[in-house]
């Protein structure tokens, strides 16, 4: 089990886990994500993890795939 | 009135139905797909006395991709925007709406896909949304033309909306550093968001992220107040969407699609249907034209040019109607179903890991697959890739090793007619080895790395029959409009060479390469000359020499294999070259063109040598 207080990167999140985004290290990703409705301080669910590849976040009906390399630059906290 | 006042621009996120709204308003067909990147070029249509301009789908105005730059440049020229949003993804879509309002555009908001939203338990309070945004909102189901008439009747009610207060205050701090005050509020907002193409200064440093966050908070508040949700999330489409992302099931599905493509295009269309069409042209159309031409003319060389072996009329009809039309038609119908279902972005996610090894990200799969339809179209769609590096690698792959639908159909038919599994295995292996080597070299020596992926996945939908028919028809029509003149010119050139004896002379010149190096009969020179114009034109010639559907073949199995490899790797067709000029410049295009020819001939020579020893 992940510790609920520990900050990890998005690529470490498991399928089905809910998490809070604490920080985007990549400025461009931050802007692109903000447009799509993914912001720091919001909670999401890991909808799916492609084997060795992108993480799919789900927010209502919106599914957003984030490549593994980018996911490593997003800090999150499991909630 | 000025052109600016008479033009409305349609803008919105990808997959919200911009092109359907454009089609409905202008009665012109615009390609409509369930994946981002359909509208990579700008379409214009007219509505009453106004010009309507359709733009590529973007999530915001900025410079993150080529599409965004294109959209930004167009928007800055005009003032009135028809902003299409989807009721299903309003939270996402209103970011662009609010950005347009913050920039000071006059807007009409088209709230599309309200039926899908209702099916998912989403209710939008339109009155409240209008009040909060400060602009008119018109609900529509554009695919069923519901709400379109009401929209048409109110298409003059453009308004400037309610700006995000904090952003408005910040933009007042922006001044021109060169003391020019003619810059618009649009440009000032873009400057605050980090766009450095404007000559501005600001009293205090503002982080561009801050503007985005302020706007996002505003939009989140609007949606919280205007949307009522009782989400119904147990839809079959969501489950299918997940299945397609699964490494095993997703790959099986991709394999199943490839097998279906082979069976439909390679076996059924290229075999039975092409046979029927070819017979029809040979027995009905060509004798008809020959009779007309010979009735009016008894000049032998002219008759040869028009209705001879390479006659402009007969040869073009034989290739276009007899071979190309059934193959291209079949491919576009098949591809339209994939496009409209929402499968392609999922395939992009599935392929992301694999493509990252060759310097691309998953998004590149879309132009690569489009290439199996038409390389020209695929080169244009490579604009959706965010870096020049990825664009170049994708274009090289497209030029070198992806056969277009017409060429693919002929290759599949030839492979099926040879009926030896080893030929298919060797053909695919050789193409993949060459491709892999070229990509590895490019990936190693081109500076930079693959761009990371961020992709919004559209909802899986059942494609509508009407859209598939219209879309396939439009694509087939565009393909033929582009191909027929080139085929006719190609036939004419070959006809002139044939009549003047030039063809025999070229056979002699090319003999060391064709006969000596590639170990092919001298007649195959025609195939390579034809391939310079279009690859499918070349392989169509191979169709006859290999005796597909006939008892006698002029080529051995090894020679067919060599021809297939060389023509597949050969130079891109003329129309692709023209588009490549535009996309990556003449120098890179020229290098790709020359390299394709050298690689094709060397690979063919090596293969012919190995086959002559082994067989």
Cβ–Cβ below 8 Å for A67 and B456: no
> Which parts of chain B sit beneath pLDDT 70?
1-5, 28-42, 175-183, 196-205, 231-235, 266, 548-552
Distance of alpha carbon B341 from the chain centroid: 16
Residues of A with CB under 8 A from a CB of B: 27-37, 39, 47-48, 50-54, 56, 59-70
The minimal CB distance from A53 to the residues B208, B349, B457 is found for: B349
**Separation CA B331–CA B264 (nearest Å):** 9
Cβ–Cβ below 8 Å for A56 and B349: yes
Q: How far does the CA of residue A31 sit from the closest CA of chain B (Å)?
A: 6
Which residues of chain B does A28 touch, with a Cβ-Cβ cutoff of 8 Å?
64
**Separation CA B1–CA B304 (nearest Å):** 56
User: For every one of its 79 residues, what pLDDT tens digit does chain A have, with 9 covering 90 and above?
Assistant: 444 568 999 999 998 899 999 999 888 888 889 999 888 888 998 988 888 789 999 887 788 999 888 899 999 999 8
Q: What is the largest CA-CA distance in chain A?
A: 32
Predicted confidence at residue B183, as pLDDT, reads 65
Name the pTM for this structure.
0.77
Predicted confidence at residue B377, as pLDDT, reads 73
Q: How far does the CA of residue A50 sit from the closest CA of chain B (Å)?
A: 7
Predicted confidence at residue B600, as pLDDT, reads 94
**Separation CA B472–CA B550 (nearest Å):** 31
Which residues of chain B does A33 touch, with a Cβ-Cβ cutoff of 8 Å?
454
Q: Of B384, B454, B218, B352, whose CA–CA distance to A32 is shortest?
A: B454
String of DSSP letters for B93-157: HHHHHHHHHHHT-EEEEEEE-HHHHHHTTEEE-HHHHHHHHTS-EEE-BGGGTBTHHHHHHTTT-
Predicted confidence at residue B307, as pLDDT, reads 87
Predicted confidence at residue B292, as pLDDT, reads 92
Predicted confidence at residue B2, as pLDDT, reads 52
The continuous run of DSSP H or E covering B227 comes out as strand B227-229
Predicted confidence at residue B1, as pLDDT, reads 47
């Amino acid at each position: 089990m992940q510790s609920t207080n520990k900050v990890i990167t998005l690529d470490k999140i498991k399928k089905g886990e809910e998490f809070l985004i604490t920080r985007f290290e990549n400025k461009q990703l931050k802007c692109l994500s903000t447009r799509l409705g993914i912001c720091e301080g919001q909670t999401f669910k890991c909808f799916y993890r492609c084997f060795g590849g992108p993480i799919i976040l789900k927010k209502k009906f919106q599914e957003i795939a984030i490549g593994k390399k980018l996911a490593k630059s997003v800090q999150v906290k499991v909630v | 009135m000025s052109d600016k006042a008479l033009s409305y621009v349609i803008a919105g996120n990808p997959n919200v139905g911009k092109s359907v709204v454009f089609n409905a308003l202008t009665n012109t067909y615009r390609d409509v797909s369930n994946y981002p990147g359909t509208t990579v070029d700008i379409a214009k249509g007219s509505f009453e006395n106004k010009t309507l301009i359709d733009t590529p789908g973007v999530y915001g105005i900025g410079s993150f991709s080529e599409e965004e730059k294109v959209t930004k440049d167009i928007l800055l020229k005009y003032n009135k925007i028809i902003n299409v949003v989807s009721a299903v993804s309003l939270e996402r879509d209103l970011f662009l709406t609010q950005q347009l309002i913050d920039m000071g555009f006059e807007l009409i908001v088209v709230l599309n896909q309200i039926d899908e939203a209702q099916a998912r338990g989403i209710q939008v309070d339109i009155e409240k949304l209008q009040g909060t945004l400060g602009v008119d909102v018109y609900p529509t189901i554009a695919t069923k033309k519901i709400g379109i008439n009401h929209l048409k009747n109110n298409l003059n009610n453009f308004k400037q909306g309610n700006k995000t207060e904090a952003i408005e205050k910040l933009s007042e701090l922006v001044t021109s550093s060169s003391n020019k005050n003619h810059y618009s509020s649009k440009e000032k907002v873009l400057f605050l968001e980090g766009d450095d193409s404007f000559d501005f200064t600001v009293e205090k440093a503002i982080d561009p992220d801050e503007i985005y966050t302020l706007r996002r908070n505003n939009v989140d508040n609007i949606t919280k107040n205007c949307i009522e949700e009782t989400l119904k999330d147990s839809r079959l489409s969501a489950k299918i969407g997940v299945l397609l992302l699964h490494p095993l099931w997703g790959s099986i599905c991709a394999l199943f699609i490839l097998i279906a493509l082979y069976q439909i295009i390679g076996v059924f269309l290229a075999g039975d249907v092409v046979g029927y069409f070819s017979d029809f042209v040979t027995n009905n159309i060509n004798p008809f034209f020959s009779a007309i031409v010979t009735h009016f003319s008894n000049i032998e060389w002219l008759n040869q040019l028009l209705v001879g072996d390479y006659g402009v009329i007969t040869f073009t009809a034989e290739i276009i109607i007899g071979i190309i039309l059934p193959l291209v038609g079949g491919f576009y119908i098949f591809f339209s179903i994939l496009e409209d279902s929402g499968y392609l972005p999922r395939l992009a996610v599935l392929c992301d890991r694999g493509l990252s090894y060759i310097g691309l990200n998953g998004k590149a799969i879309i132009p690569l697959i489009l290439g199996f339809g038409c390389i020209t179209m695929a080169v244009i769609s490579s604009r959706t890739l965010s870096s020049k590096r990825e664009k170049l690698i994708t274009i090289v792959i497209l030029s070198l090793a992806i056969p277009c639908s017409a060429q693919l159909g002929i290759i599949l038919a030839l492979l099926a007619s040879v009926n030896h599994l080893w030929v298919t295995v060797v053909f695919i292996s050789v193409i993949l080895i060459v491709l892999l080597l070229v990509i590895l070299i490019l990936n190693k020596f081109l500076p930079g790395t693959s761009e990371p992926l961020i992709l919004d996945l559209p909802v899986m939908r059942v494609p509508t029959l009407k859209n598939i028919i219209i879309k396939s028809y439009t694509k087939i029509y565009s393909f033929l409009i582009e191909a027929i003149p080139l085929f006719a010119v190609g036939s004419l050139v070959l006809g002139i060479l044939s009549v003047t004896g030039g063809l025999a002379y070229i056979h002699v010149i090319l003999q060391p390469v064709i006969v000596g190096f590639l170990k092919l009969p001298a007649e195959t020179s025609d195939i390579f000359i034809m391939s310079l114009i279009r690859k499918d034109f070349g392989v169509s010639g191979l169709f006859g020499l290999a005796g597909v559907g006939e008892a006698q073949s002029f080529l051995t199995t090894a020679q067919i294999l060599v021809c297939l490899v060389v023509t597949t790797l050969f130079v891109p067709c003329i129309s692709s070259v023209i588009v490549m000029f535009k996309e990556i410049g003449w120098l890179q295009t020229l290098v790709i063109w020359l390299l394709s020819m050298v690689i094709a001939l060397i690979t063919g020579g090596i293969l012919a040598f190995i086959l002559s020893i082994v067989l």
